[in-house]
Amino acid sequence: MIRVGREVTSATKDRADVCVIGSGSGGAVMAALLAESGKDVVVLEEGGNFTARDFTGREGEMYPLLYRDGGGQFSADGGVNVLQGRAVGGSTLINAADCTRIPPEVLEHWGTVYDVEGVNEKTLRDSYSRVERALGVTDILEGQINRNNALLLEGATKLSMKGGTFRTNRTGCAGIGTCLIGCPVNAKKGAHLNYIPRALAAGARIYADARADRIVVNNGAATGVRGSILDRERGIATYPIEIEAEHIVVSAGAIHTPLLLARSGLGGEQVGRNLTLQPQIPFIALFPESVVAWKGIPQSTYVDAFDHNTAKHGLGGYRMEGISGGPGFASFIFPGIGAAHRQLFERFANTATALILVPDRPGDGFVSAQKGGGAKITYTVQDLWRKNARKGIAAAARCYLEAGAEAVLWADETAEVIRSLKKAEKAAANAPLAVSSARLVSAHCQGTCRMGEDEKTCVADSRGRMYGVKGVTICDASLFPSSASTHTMIPTMAMADLIAHHLIDSGA
C-alpha cells in the first residue's frame, strides 16, 4: 500500500517493527529486504509517488516534481548546484542509470585510514550480485551510444586515452533521452520498479508526501518517528503522522539525514561534518555538423585515463563523462549572459557536452539547518580540486578538438570560446574556477554521518548502527567516509544490502 498526502485527511498513527525514512537507493533496499525477512515495515517518503505516465518529458514540470527544491538546491555560497531526487524511489528516478562499483583501493582506504571493518571486496561480493541482478544491470551496447557520447570517446581513442562505456540498469531503452527527468517507458529500472514493489508485496506500507521531523527516543532507545503529511501543491504541512517502531532506518541522503538526526538531538558533534560533493564542471564543444545531444542515452561513455585511486588517498584524479539533457539543463551549463548566452544556445543542435568529474577529499564541508528548517550546505572547493579540474578541462579540450570540434569552452563566465588547442591549454591552466563564475554540479553527496569503529570521529559503526542510541541504523551515502565512486547508486544499494543482511542475521 502506498498512501499519498492528499489521501490522508486526519492525524495519522501507525505501528511497525521498522520505520524506514527515505525510499531511494538505501531506503528502498532496506525496506524490501527487511519486509521479506518477516518484519513489519513502514516507509516515510517526503516526495510524491509517481509512475511512467507522470513523466511528461517537460523540464518545467519535471524538475519541481522530482527534484529537491526543483533542482535549485545550492551550496550556501551558490558555488555548487547540489542535485537530489525527491520522490518514491529517490534519485534512482532521475539519475543517468550508471552502475559503477566502489574501486577496491577506496575500500582499502576506508579500512586503513578510517577504521571501517567488514566492508571490502569479499564482503560486498554477494551484495553487488544481488543488487545488480535486481536492477537488471548490463552493458550499454555500441548501437545505444548517441553522437554526443561517441564524440568524447572518438577523440580519446585518437589520443590513446583509455575510456569505455558504462554499465546500466536499463532494459528496452527507447532512446528518448529524458532519463534525468523520469523515464516514460519504464526502461530505466529505478528502485520504484524493483525494490519498492518487493517491499509492498511483502506487506510494507509506504506514506508518500510524508516528512520525518523527529526521531523519538526514550531511555536511550528509539521508539518511533514524528512527522508531517505534506500538501505537495501548496507546499505546506497538513496533518501530523506518528509511527511507533523499535527500529528506525534513516536513509534520507547525505544532506537531509544529518538534519533529521540533529533535530532529534542525535549523533553528537560529528553529525553533518565531513561533507564531500565530488563537484563536476560541465564542458561544451561546438561542432560544424549536427550532434543532437538530447536524443539517446544521456550518459554512456567515459574517459578514465586520469583516474588515480590509491589505498592512501582513496578516489582521486579526474575523469570525463559524456552527458546531455534538454534545453533547461543546457541553459544552466552554457555560460554567457544575454546576447552571448543566446548566441551559444543557437548552436544547441551542434553542441556536445560532458562533465569533468573531480573527486574531492573530506574537508571542512558540513550540513546544518537554516532558519525555517531547510538545509544550509557549507562547502569550499579545495585547491587540489581546482588543480585537477584544470587538468580535466585541458584533457577534454584535447579530446573534442581531436574529434573535430571547431571550438570549446566550459561552464564558467570567465571562459572564452577557444578554437585552438594551444589557447585551450593555456586558458585551462589559468582558469580561476571561482565561486562567482564557475557553474559546478554535484549529484554525489556523501560523508555527513561517517561510519567507522572510532566513536569519537564517527556517527555510526561499520554496520550503520548509530553511536549513543539503540535502535537507529543509518543507511545511505552519508555513511561513506570519503568519496566512494564516480556514481553512488550501486555503492549505496550494495551497502544497504550488506547492512540489511547484518540486521536480519542478528535478529535485530
Question: Could you tell me the sign of the dihedral formed by the alpha carbons of 64, 66, 71, 73, in that order?
Answer: positive
Q: Where do the H-state alpha helices sit in 246-326?
A: 253-263
Paired with 412 in beta bridges are 438
* Whether 247 is catalytic: no
Q: Are strands 472-474 and 247-250 parallel, antiparallel or unpaired?
A: parallel
As a dihedral over the C-alpha atoms of residue 350, residue 356, residue 357, residue 361, rounded to 10 degrees, the angle is -150
d(CA 167, CA 139): 4
> Cβ–Cβ contacts within 10 Å for residue 127, how many?
21
Phi-psi label, residue 268: left if phi above 0, alpha if psi -120 to 50, beta otherwise: left
Q: One of 109, 192, 256, 444 is an active-site residue; which one? A: 444
Hey, is 273 helix, strand or coil?
Answer: strand
DSSP at 283: E
DSSP code string of 171-234 = SS------GGG--TTS-B--GGGTHHHHHHHTT-EEESSEEEEEEEEETTEEEEEEEEEEETTT
Per-residue cell: 471 = 535502535
**Over the range 379-400, which residues count as b (16 or more CB within 10 Å of their CB) and which as e?**
bbbbeebbebbbbbbbbbbbbb
Task: Name, in order, each residue with C-beta under 8 angstroms of 312's C-beta and a sequence gap of 6 or more.
Answer: 109, 113
DSSP count for the chain of H helices, then E strands: 12, 22
- At position 3, the amino acid (one-letter code) is R
Only one residue has cell 531503452, namely 173
Task: Name, in order, each residue with C-beta under 8 angstroms of 22's C-beta and a sequence gap of 6 or more.
Answer: 43, 44, 45, 46, 90, 250, 251, 252, 253, 256, 257, 476
Phi and psi angles of residue 212, each rounded to the nearest 5 degrees, phi first: -80, 120
> Cβ–Cβ contacts within 10 Å for residue 277, how many?
28
What is the CA 163 to chain-centroid distance, rounded?
22
Q: Which of the residues are catalytic?
A: 444
